[in-house]
Amino acid sequence: MEGDMPLFEEPEGYFEEDPVPSFTIVERRKSPASKPLNLRLVARHSLWAHHLWNAARVLGDYLDDPNVSSGKNVLELGAGAGLPSLVASLNGASRVVVTDYPEDVLVQNIEMNIKENSSEAYQQGRIMAKGHQWGKEPEKLLELLPPNQKFDIIILSDLVFNHTFHFDMLKTCKTCLRDDGNGVVLVAFSHHRPKFVDADLNIFNIAKKEPFNFKVEEREKVIMTPMFPEDPGSEEIR
């Protein structure tokens, strides 16, 4: 990618359907007594922010635990609707920075979801929406934290299919994650195109090598209905 060109280009006619934003209600399965989240999804978009991805639901469930999120600095990349970040803020995260590609329609949509679902944290300055292009001046994200702090948790929710940008994602993670061994990058994903499984997983090969040297661990597999049932390939893989 050169400069600030869009990450993807879609065929003519792609945007004729879904011309307006949509809304979806997300129940908090680990906190059933809590108020459900009302998420606004942008109108059909080339960066796929008009979907609420299965990976976001899984990470939202994981972060819906004060033992995981409370007191932590949290950064989300390519956030879309921002579900995992919102849940982290509702569980007492100290500072949550929710990012997506620096395009007004994406960042403003995140801010709407923050105000709707985590208004108290927003008013307290504990959660904010920002534009960020992966790998480009990631140190500026650290300016949003108190002095001499980094992020404890970084969220990558269904981003690994962006094969060309694995290095750039990891550059942001390496710059922004605390470097004392106590930080974690949470990566959740589906193999939407089974023929590209190896390309999806290559992000972990890159992460283990210089200049990143991350320790990679597989924590959990969750079986869910594929996002796009009509797509080709094994449903089990997707």
Q: pTM for the full model?
A: 0.88
pLDDT confidence of residue 2: 42
Q: What's the mean pLDDT in 160-183?
A: 97
Q: What b/e readout covers 169-200, taking b as 16+ CB neighbours within 10 angstroms?
A: bbbbbbbbbbeeeebbbbbbbbbbbeeeeeeb
Q: What's the mean pLDDT in 56-83?
A: 97
pLDDT confidence of residue 15: 46
Phi, psi of 97 (to 5 degrees): -115, 115
Could you read off the pLDDT of 143-162 as tens digits, one per residue? 999 999 999 999 999 999 99
pLDDT confidence of residue 238: 57
- Inform me whether the pLDDT recorded for 46 exceeds 70: no
Q: Which two tokens stand for residue 92?
A: 């007492």
pLDDT confidence of residue 224: 75
pLDDT confidence of residue 236: 65
Residues 6+ apart with CB under 8 A from 110: 79, 81, 82, 98, 100, 129
- Inform me whether the pLDDT recorded for 11 exceeds 70: no
Q: What's the mean pLDDT in 218-232?
A: 77
Residues 6+ apart with CB under 8 A from 144: 95, 97, 128, 130
Residues of the chain with pLDDT > 70: what percent?
88
The Cα angle at residue 236 between residues 232 and 238, in degrees rounded to 5: 55
Q: What b/e readout covers 113-129, taking b as 16+ CB neighbours within 10 angstroms?
A: bbeebbeebbeeebbbb
Q: What's the mean pLDDT in 24-49?
A: 86
Distance CA 72, CA 56 (A): 19
- Inform me whether the pLDDT recorded for 202 exceeds 80: yes
